[in-house]
Amino acid sequence: MEDKRTHELPELYAPNGGEGPYSYSQNSNYQRGVVEAAKEKINEAIANHFDIQTFCGTKNPVCIVDLGCSTGANTFITVQNIVEAIKLKYKSKGVNAQIPDFLVFFNDNVSNDFNTLFKSLPPNRQYFAAGVPGSFHGCLFPKASLHLIHSSCALNWLSKIPIEITDESSPAWNKGRIHYTNATKEVVEAYETQFSKDMESFLFSRAQELVVGGLLVLFVPAVPDVMSNSDTYTGTELDILGSCLMDMAKVGLVEEAKVDSFNVPAYYTPPKKLKALIERNGNFSIKRMEVLNNQKKHLILQSSSLRSLYLRAVLEGMIEKHFGNEILDELFNRFTHKIEGSSFFLNPETEKLIILFVLLERNN
């Protein structure tokens, strides 16, 4: 009946819960910048491509999901944008009286802090709200039950680390590193292959869940097509975090074998690769695909301590699981100091991470 992969995935991580000093809710200004820059794109997408005539009768609710929502408030801002844009479209078509109910699903991995998410739902929201736990690499909703699927700053997360990366006997063993930046060709290829598999299951699942004509609105952390792997900004950041772990291994604060077996399951795709995967899937028409003009990016990431908090809010769960929580303060203190002397931090123009806006429509 349903794609069983949903329930069989290994434990996946979500950003830090709660509202404390290391929480995602307090340290997601970078993602907030994306949300703000995305508003105009979402409005245009809905104005030009959301088909209120065909699939929204007056009796059926409009069903929307935010995949990888984490905790608030970014997801609430985005969802309100979407609901308002759809309502505006009804009004502009003179069908004001027919505006349907809205049902909004908030999705993230099972380990996400849904309790905090639910407690911070806007009291004056204009939609019914539900939380859906589970990996978006599988099917999460009944067939043809959604009208708009949104995901921001989430598709860079892989469903798992490719097995060969942690296999000492494999040529893809990623010794002394925690990511593919500056790693061997085999490591890079293993990450690329995993991303391709994950996008395949992601697009397959979304094609099941969306009604014909439904929209898939994605904001994907990515890198420009012309880059080599050693250029990537985000890679550099993870490379520095990895080198902090190796420094700690050298002075006996962590085991070196533990560093060897730890890898961050994140991949930053070039646009060409993503486009090829979408075309291979065949269920979607590409309506827009462009780089988001995220002007606040440099502003937000200019402080070394804020940058460290931003990374900690996202990665702490998986680092803690692997190394234990006693290394966290030391690790992120070292990271804060180390990036201060790094060229990519001193010269923000070398930072190459882009956010790709991708608008897809479900084919017949």
Does 126 bind a copy of itself (CB under 8 A)? Our answer is: yes
Cα–Cα dist 346/317, whole Å: 28
Place of tokens 């929201």: 125
311-348: burial string, b at 16+ Cβ within 10 Å, e else: bbbbbbbbbeeebeeebbeebbebbbebbeeeebbeee
Closest to 157 in 3D by CA, of 265, 242, 319, 75: 265
Does 254 bind a copy of itself (CB under 8 A)? Our answer is: no
Does 59 bind a copy of itself (CB under 8 A)? Our answer is: yes
Give the chain's length: 364
The count of residues interacting with a copy of itself (CB under 8 A) is 39
Does 321 bind a copy of itself (CB under 8 A)? Our answer is: no
Q: How far is the CB of 291 from a copy of itself (least distance, A)?
A: 34
Does 148 bind a copy of itself (CB under 8 A)? Our answer is: no
Interactions with a copy of itself, residue window 3-22 (CB under 8 A):
7-8
Q: Which stretch binds a copy of itself (CB under 8 A): 119-127, 282-290, 323-331, 356-364?
A: 119-127
> How distant, in Å, are the alpha carbons of 56, 141, 206, 254, 274 from that of 214?
11, 14, 10, 49, 20
Cα–Cα dist 32/242, whole Å: 26
Q: Kindly give the residue spans of alpha helices, DSSP state H, lying in 128-232.
A: 185-209
Q: Which stretch binds a copy of itself (CB under 8 A): 47-55, 137-145, 168-176, 238-246?
A: 137-145
Does 130 bind a copy of itself (CB under 8 A)? Our answer is: yes
Does 54 bind a copy of itself (CB under 8 A)? Our answer is: no
| Tokens linked to 91 | 């009004």
Per CB under 8 A, the list member of 30, 136, 141, 284 interacting with a copy of itself is: 141
- DSSP percent split of the chain into helix, strand, coil, nearest 5: 45, 15, 35
Tell me which DSSP letter residue 269 carries: B
Does 142 bind a copy of itself (CB under 8 A)? Our answer is: yes
Spell out, one character per residue from 70 to 109, where the chain touches a copy of itself: x when CB under 8 A holds, - when not. -----------------------------xxxxx-x----
Does 140 bind a copy of itself (CB under 8 A)? Our answer is: yes
Task: Name which of 119 and 280 has its Cβ closer to a copy of itself.
Answer: 119
Q: Using CB under 8 A as the criterion, which residues of the chain lie in contact with a copy of itself when the complex forms?
A: 1-2, 7-8, 59, 61, 99-103, 105, 110-111, 113-115, 118-119, 121, 123-134, 139-145
